[in-house]
Protein backbone atom coordinates (compact mmCIF):
# COMPACT_ATOMS: atom_id res chain seq x y z
CA UNK A 1 0.00 0.00 0.00
CA UNK A 2 1.30 3.43 -0.93
CA UNK A 3 2.26 5.49 2.12
CA UNK A 4 1.86 8.69 0.11
CA UNK A 5 -1.81 7.84 -0.35
CA UNK A 6 -2.45 6.74 3.23
CA UNK A 7 -4.79 8.91 5.37
CA UNK A 8 -3.64 11.19 8.18
CA UNK A 9 -5.44 13.01 10.98
CA UNK A 10 -4.63 16.51 12.25
CA UNK A 11 -6.84 17.29 15.22
CA UNK A 12 -10.34 16.55 13.98
CA UNK A 13 -9.28 16.97 10.35
CA UNK A 14 -8.76 13.74 8.41
CA UNK A 15 -6.85 13.99 5.14
CA UNK A 16 -7.27 11.38 2.42
CA UNK A 17 -3.56 11.36 1.59
CA UNK A 18 -0.24 13.07 2.34
CA UNK A 19 -0.15 15.40 -0.67
CA UNK A 20 -0.52 19.06 0.24
CA UNK A 21 -0.93 21.92 -2.22
CA UNK A 22 1.34 24.62 -0.84
CA UNK A 23 0.34 28.30 -0.72
CA UNK A 24 1.14 30.09 -3.97
CA UNK A 25 0.84 33.86 -4.34
CA UNK A 26 -1.35 34.86 -7.28
CA UNK A 27 -1.02 38.66 -7.11
CA UNK A 28 -4.55 38.94 -8.47
CA UNK A 29 -6.66 40.37 -5.64
CA UNK A 30 -8.33 43.78 -5.60
CA UNK A 31 -7.63 45.72 -2.39
CA UNK A 32 -7.18 42.40 -0.64
CA UNK A 33 -10.40 40.94 -2.04
CA UNK A 34 -10.48 37.58 -3.84
CA UNK A 35 -11.57 37.79 -7.48
CA UNK A 36 -12.87 35.47 -10.19
CA UNK A 37 -9.27 34.43 -10.79
CA UNK A 38 -9.24 32.82 -7.34
CA UNK A 39 -12.36 30.84 -8.17
CA UNK A 40 -10.70 29.49 -11.33
CA UNK A 41 -7.32 28.90 -9.70
CA UNK A 42 -8.59 27.24 -6.52
CA UNK A 43 -11.34 25.41 -8.38
CA UNK A 44 -9.08 23.37 -10.60
CA UNK A 45 -6.61 22.68 -7.76
CA UNK A 46 -9.51 21.45 -5.62
CA UNK A 47 -10.17 18.77 -8.26
CA UNK A 48 -6.58 17.53 -8.20
CA UNK A 49 -6.95 14.68 -5.70
CA UNK A 50 -4.56 16.18 -3.11
CA UNK A 51 -5.30 15.74 0.58
CA UNK A 52 -5.20 19.43 1.55
CA UNK A 53 -5.21 22.74 -0.31
CA UNK A 54 -3.74 25.90 1.21
CA UNK A 55 -4.77 29.36 0.08
CA UNK A 56 -1.97 31.71 -0.83
CA UNK A 57 -0.23 33.91 1.74
CA UNK A 58 -3.03 36.11 3.04
CA UNK A 59 -2.17 39.43 4.67
CA UNK A 60 -3.58 40.26 8.09
CA UNK A 61 -3.44 44.01 7.35
CA UNK A 62 -3.01 46.09 4.19
CA UNK A 63 0.62 46.94 4.99
CA UNK A 64 1.34 43.23 5.24
CA UNK A 65 0.73 42.53 1.55
CA UNK A 66 3.72 41.67 -0.60
CA UNK A 67 2.19 43.61 -3.49
CA UNK A 68 -0.91 45.79 -3.83
CA UNK A 69 -2.57 42.76 -5.44
CA UNK A 70 -2.17 40.28 -2.58
CA UNK A 71 -5.05 38.47 -0.91
CA UNK A 72 -6.07 39.85 2.49
CA UNK A 73 -8.29 38.99 5.42
CA UNK A 74 -8.51 42.12 7.54
CA UNK A 75 -12.04 43.44 6.97
CA UNK A 76 -15.63 42.42 6.36
CA UNK A 77 -15.12 43.20 2.66
CA UNK A 78 -12.11 40.91 2.27
CA UNK A 79 -13.88 38.19 4.24
CA UNK A 80 -17.01 38.42 2.09
CA UNK A 81 -15.02 38.23 -1.15
CA UNK A 82 -13.15 35.16 0.03
CA UNK A 83 -16.41 33.58 1.20
CA UNK A 84 -17.78 33.93 -2.33
CA UNK A 85 -14.74 32.23 -3.88
CA UNK A 86 -14.77 29.43 -1.31
CA UNK A 87 -18.48 28.79 -1.82
CA UNK A 88 -17.91 28.28 -5.55
CA UNK A 89 -15.06 25.85 -4.93
CA UNK A 90 -16.85 23.91 -2.21
CA UNK A 91 -19.91 23.44 -4.38
CA UNK A 92 -17.86 20.97 -6.42
CA UNK A 93 -15.12 19.69 -4.09
CA UNK A 94 -14.92 18.37 -0.54
CA UNK A 95 -11.15 18.81 -0.35
CA UNK A 96 -10.11 20.40 2.99
CA UNK A 97 -8.92 23.98 2.53
CA UNK A 98 -6.49 25.79 4.81
CA UNK A 99 -5.17 29.34 4.80
CA UNK A 100 -1.69 30.77 5.25
CA UNK A 101 -1.80 33.96 7.32
CA UNK A 102 1.16 36.27 7.04
CA UNK A 103 2.72 39.71 6.94
CA UNK A 104 5.44 40.63 4.46
CA UNK A 105 7.22 43.12 6.72
CA UNK A 106 10.15 44.76 4.94
CA UNK A 107 9.53 42.69 1.78
CA UNK A 108 6.15 44.38 1.24
CA UNK A 109 5.19 47.15 -1.19
CA UNK A 110 6.58 45.60 -4.37
CA UNK A 111 5.26 45.20 -7.90
CA UNK A 112 3.86 41.94 -9.24
CA UNK A 113 6.63 39.58 -10.42
CA UNK A 114 5.63 39.98 -14.06
CA UNK A 115 5.89 43.77 -13.58
CA UNK A 116 9.47 43.56 -12.33
CA UNK A 117 8.87 42.88 -8.64
CA UNK A 118 10.78 45.96 -7.48
CA UNK A 119 9.94 48.13 -4.50
CA UNK A 120 7.12 50.55 -5.31
CA UNK A 121 7.57 54.22 -4.56
CA UNK A 122 5.08 55.98 -2.34
CA UNK A 123 3.85 57.76 -5.49
CA UNK A 124 3.45 54.41 -7.30
CA UNK A 125 0.93 52.80 -4.97
CA UNK A 126 3.55 51.68 -2.47
CA UNK A 127 3.57 52.24 1.29
CA UNK A 128 5.89 52.47 4.27
CA UNK A 129 7.00 48.98 5.20
CA UNK A 130 7.41 47.59 8.72
CA UNK A 131 10.11 45.39 10.23
CA UNK A 132 11.81 44.53 13.52
CA UNK A 133 14.62 46.93 12.60
CA UNK A 134 15.15 49.71 10.09
CA UNK A 135 17.27 47.47 7.86
CA UNK A 136 16.20 47.51 4.22
CA UNK A 137 15.81 44.34 2.19
CA UNK A 138 18.48 44.07 -0.51
CA UNK A 139 17.56 46.16 -3.55
CA UNK A 140 15.03 48.31 -1.69
CA UNK A 141 15.87 51.99 -1.55
CA UNK A 142 13.37 52.78 1.21
CA UNK A 143 14.14 51.37 4.65
CA UNK A 144 11.34 49.90 6.78
CA UNK A 145 9.95 51.46 9.93
CA UNK A 146 11.16 49.66 13.07
CA UNK A 147 8.08 48.49 14.94
CA UNK A 148 7.42 49.83 18.42
CA UNK A 149 6.25 47.57 21.24
CA UNK A 150 2.72 48.95 20.89
CA UNK A 151 2.74 48.28 17.15
CA UNK A 152 3.94 44.73 17.75
CA UNK A 153 1.03 44.17 20.14
CA UNK A 154 -1.37 45.53 17.50
CA UNK A 155 0.01 43.11 14.91
CA UNK A 156 -0.46 40.16 17.27
CA UNK A 157 -4.13 41.15 17.52
CA UNK A 158 -4.36 41.48 13.72
CA UNK A 159 -3.25 37.87 13.33
CA UNK A 160 -5.80 36.77 15.94
CA UNK A 161 -8.63 38.64 14.21
CA UNK A 162 -7.72 37.11 10.85
CA UNK A 163 -7.74 33.68 12.51
CA UNK A 164 -11.27 34.30 13.80
CA UNK A 165 -12.35 35.27 10.29
CA UNK A 166 -10.73 32.07 8.97
CA UNK A 167 -12.82 29.96 11.33
CA UNK A 168 -15.95 31.90 10.40
CA UNK A 169 -15.22 31.14 6.73
CA UNK A 170 -15.24 27.44 7.53
CA UNK A 171 -11.59 26.93 6.64
CA UNK A 172 -10.03 23.73 7.93
CA UNK A 173 -6.54 24.75 9.07
CA UNK A 174 -4.26 27.76 9.54
CA UNK A 175 -0.59 27.92 8.62
CA UNK A 176 1.32 30.97 9.85
CA UNK A 177 3.95 32.23 7.42
CA UNK A 178 7.18 32.29 9.40
CA UNK A 179 9.49 31.68 6.44
CA UNK A 180 10.99 33.21 3.29
CA UNK A 181 12.12 36.48 4.84
CA UNK A 182 8.67 37.75 5.76
CA UNK A 183 7.85 39.46 9.05
CA UNK A 184 7.88 36.53 11.49
CA UNK A 185 11.10 35.27 9.93
CA UNK A 186 12.55 38.79 10.07
CA UNK A 187 12.15 38.73 13.85
CA UNK A 188 13.74 35.28 14.11
CA UNK A 189 16.86 35.95 12.06
CA UNK A 190 19.74 37.95 13.57
CA UNK A 191 20.47 39.24 10.07
CA UNK A 192 17.27 41.31 10.00
CA UNK A 193 16.56 41.70 13.72
CA UNK A 194 18.99 44.20 15.25
CA UNK A 195 16.76 45.17 18.16
CA UNK A 196 18.11 45.74 21.66
CA UNK A 197 14.83 45.35 23.55
CA UNK A 198 12.82 42.28 24.62
CA UNK A 199 12.27 41.34 20.94
CA UNK A 200 15.90 41.23 19.85
CA UNK A 201 19.34 39.92 20.71
CA UNK A 202 19.05 36.47 22.25
CA UNK A 203 17.23 33.61 20.55
CA UNK A 204 14.61 33.71 23.29
CA UNK A 205 13.93 37.37 22.54
CA UNK A 206 13.90 36.92 18.76
CA UNK A 207 11.31 34.16 19.13
CA UNK A 208 9.09 36.29 21.37
CA UNK A 209 6.95 37.95 18.67
CA UNK A 210 6.42 34.84 16.47
CA UNK A 211 5.48 32.82 19.56
CA UNK A 212 3.10 35.57 20.71
CA UNK A 213 1.44 35.46 17.27
CA UNK A 214 1.12 31.68 17.47
CA UNK A 215 -0.36 31.83 20.97
CA UNK A 216 -2.87 34.51 19.95
CA UNK A 217 -3.99 32.58 16.87
CA UNK A 218 -4.25 29.35 18.84
CA UNK A 219 -6.40 31.10 21.45
CA UNK A 220 -8.66 32.58 18.74
CA UNK A 221 -9.72 29.23 17.24
CA UNK A 222 -11.41 26.08 18.63
CA UNK A 223 -9.07 23.81 20.59
CA UNK A 224 -9.14 21.05 17.96
CA UNK A 225 -8.55 23.41 15.01
CA UNK A 226 -5.16 22.67 13.37
CA UNK A 227 -2.72 25.59 13.63
CA UNK A 228 0.76 25.14 12.19
CA UNK A 229 3.55 27.23 10.78
CA UNK A 230 5.90 27.38 7.81
CA UNK A 231 9.49 28.10 8.77
CA UNK A 232 12.73 28.61 6.94
CA UNK A 233 14.98 25.96 8.44
CA UNK A 234 17.97 28.10 7.51
CA UNK A 235 18.79 31.43 5.90
CA UNK A 236 21.55 29.67 3.93
CA UNK A 237 23.78 32.54 5.14
CA UNK A 238 26.61 32.26 7.66
CA UNK A 239 25.66 33.94 10.93
CA UNK A 240 21.94 33.85 10.13
CA UNK A 241 19.03 31.68 11.16
CA UNK A 242 19.95 27.99 11.06
CA UNK A 243 18.62 24.51 11.75
CA UNK A 244 19.78 24.48 15.37
CA UNK A 245 17.74 27.60 16.12
CA UNK A 246 14.86 26.13 14.13
CA UNK A 247 14.82 23.08 16.40
CA UNK A 248 14.67 25.29 19.50
CA UNK A 249 11.83 27.27 17.94
CA UNK A 250 10.02 24.07 16.96
CA UNK A 251 10.24 22.76 20.53
CA UNK A 252 8.76 26.02 21.82
CA UNK A 253 5.93 25.72 19.30
CA UNK A 254 5.34 22.10 20.26
CA UNK A 255 4.94 23.14 23.90
CA UNK A 256 2.26 25.59 22.78
CA UNK A 257 0.19 23.04 20.88
CA UNK A 258 1.49 23.42 17.32
CA UNK A 259 -0.26 20.99 14.96
CA UNK A 260 2.36 20.82 12.19
CA UNK A 261 5.50 22.47 10.82
CA UNK A 262 6.12 23.10 7.14
CA UNK A 263 9.92 23.30 6.70
CA UNK A 264 11.27 25.40 3.85
CA UNK A 265 14.36 27.62 3.67
CA UNK A 266 15.91 30.90 2.59
CA UNK A 267 14.23 34.05 1.37
CA UNK A 268 15.68 36.50 3.88
CA UNK A 269 18.93 37.57 2.25
CA UNK A 270 20.31 37.96 -1.26
CA UNK A 271 23.58 36.52 0.10
CA UNK A 272 21.97 33.08 0.47
CA UNK A 273 23.82 30.16 -1.09
CA UNK A 274 21.33 27.34 -1.64
CA UNK A 275 22.54 23.87 -2.67
CA UNK A 276 19.70 23.18 -5.07
CA UNK A 277 18.82 19.60 -5.92
CA UNK A 278 15.94 17.13 -5.62
CA UNK A 279 14.60 17.02 -2.04
CA UNK A 280 17.28 19.50 -0.94
CA UNK A 281 15.21 20.76 2.00
CA UNK A 282 13.88 17.39 3.18
CA UNK A 283 16.74 16.85 5.68
CA UNK A 284 15.53 19.89 7.63
CA UNK A 285 12.01 18.48 7.84
CA UNK A 286 13.50 15.19 9.00
CA UNK A 287 15.51 16.97 11.71
CA UNK A 288 12.41 18.77 13.04
CA UNK A 289 10.37 15.56 13.01
CA UNK A 290 13.06 13.59 14.81
CA UNK A 291 13.65 16.28 17.43
CA UNK A 292 10.03 17.06 18.24
CA UNK A 293 7.78 14.34 16.86
CA UNK A 294 5.61 17.05 15.34
CA UNK A 295 3.89 16.32 12.02
CA UNK A 296 6.08 17.84 9.32
CA UNK A 297 5.65 18.91 5.71
CA UNK A 298 8.59 18.63 3.32
CA UNK A 299 9.09 20.95 0.35
CA UNK A 300 11.71 21.77 -2.24
CA UNK A 301 12.07 20.25 -5.72
CA UNK A 302 9.80 17.31 -4.97
CA UNK A 303 8.59 16.43 -8.45
CA UNK A 304 8.36 12.63 -8.86
CA UNK A 305 5.89 10.15 -7.39
CA UNK A 306 8.58 7.70 -6.27
CA UNK A 307 10.49 10.55 -4.65
CA UNK A 308 7.43 11.65 -2.68
CA UNK A 309 6.64 8.05 -1.73
CA UNK A 310 10.16 7.59 -0.37
CA UNK A 311 9.94 10.76 1.74
CA UNK A 312 6.77 9.53 3.41
CA UNK A 313 7.70 5.85 3.50
CA UNK A 314 11.06 6.41 5.20
CA UNK A 315 9.54 8.74 7.78
CA UNK A 316 11.47 11.81 6.64
CA UNK A 317 8.20 13.79 6.75
CA UNK A 318 4.48 13.21 7.16
CA UNK A 319 3.43 15.26 4.11
CA UNK A 320 4.91 16.52 0.88
CA UNK A 321 3.85 20.01 -0.17
CA UNK A 322 3.93 20.86 -3.87
CA UNK A 323 3.65 24.34 -5.38
CA UNK A 324 5.07 25.06 -8.85
CA UNK A 325 4.85 21.39 -9.74
CA UNK A 326 1.12 21.47 -9.04
CA UNK A 327 0.65 24.53 -11.24
CA UNK A 328 2.50 22.78 -14.05
CA UNK A 329 0.55 19.55 -13.59
CA UNK A 330 -2.74 20.12 -11.72
CA UNK A 331 -3.42 16.37 -11.92
CA UNK A 332 -0.11 15.43 -10.28
CA UNK A 333 -1.88 13.37 -7.57
CA UNK A 334 -3.79 11.42 -10.24
CA UNK A 335 -0.60 10.60 -12.07
CA UNK A 336 1.20 9.69 -8.83
CA UNK A 337 -1.65 7.40 -7.82
CA UNK A 338 -1.52 5.67 -11.20
CA UNK A 339 2.21 5.09 -10.82
CA UNK A 340 2.00 3.89 -7.21
CA UNK A 341 -1.07 1.69 -7.60
CA UNK A 342 -3.25 3.90 -5.43
CA UNK A 343 -6.67 5.49 -5.98
CA UNK A 344 -8.02 9.03 -6.13
CA UNK A 345 -11.52 10.48 -5.98
CA UNK A 346 -12.37 12.49 -9.11
CA UNK A 347 -15.48 14.62 -9.63
CA UNK A 348 -18.29 12.63 -11.19
CA UNK A 349 -18.01 14.72 -14.35
CA UNK A 350 -14.49 13.32 -14.91
CA UNK A 351 -15.15 9.64 -14.22
CA UNK A 352 -15.12 8.83 -17.92
CA UNK A 353 -11.53 10.06 -18.21
CA UNK A 354 -10.09 7.00 -16.43
CA UNK A 355 -7.63 5.31 -18.82
CA UNK A 356 -8.60 1.78 -19.80
CA UNK A 357 -5.32 0.37 -18.51
CA UNK A 358 -5.92 1.96 -15.08
CA UNK A 359 -9.35 0.57 -14.27
CA UNK A 360 -8.87 0.90 -10.48
CA UNK A 361 -7.43 4.42 -10.40
CA UNK A 362 -10.77 6.00 -9.46
CA UNK A 363 -11.51 3.43 -6.79
Residues serving a catalytic function are 182
End-to-end Cα, the chain, rounded Å? 14
Amino acid sequence: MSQLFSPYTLGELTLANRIVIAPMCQYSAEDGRATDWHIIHLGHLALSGAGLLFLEATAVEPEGRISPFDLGLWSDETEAALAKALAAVRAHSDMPIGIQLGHAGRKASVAQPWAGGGQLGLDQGGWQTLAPSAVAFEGHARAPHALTADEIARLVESFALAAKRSVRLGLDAIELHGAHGYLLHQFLSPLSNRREDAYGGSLENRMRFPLAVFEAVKAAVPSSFPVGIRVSGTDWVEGGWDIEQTLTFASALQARGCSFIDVSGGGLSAAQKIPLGPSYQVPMARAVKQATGLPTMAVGLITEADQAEAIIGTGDADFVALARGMLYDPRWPWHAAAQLGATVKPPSQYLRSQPRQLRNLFG
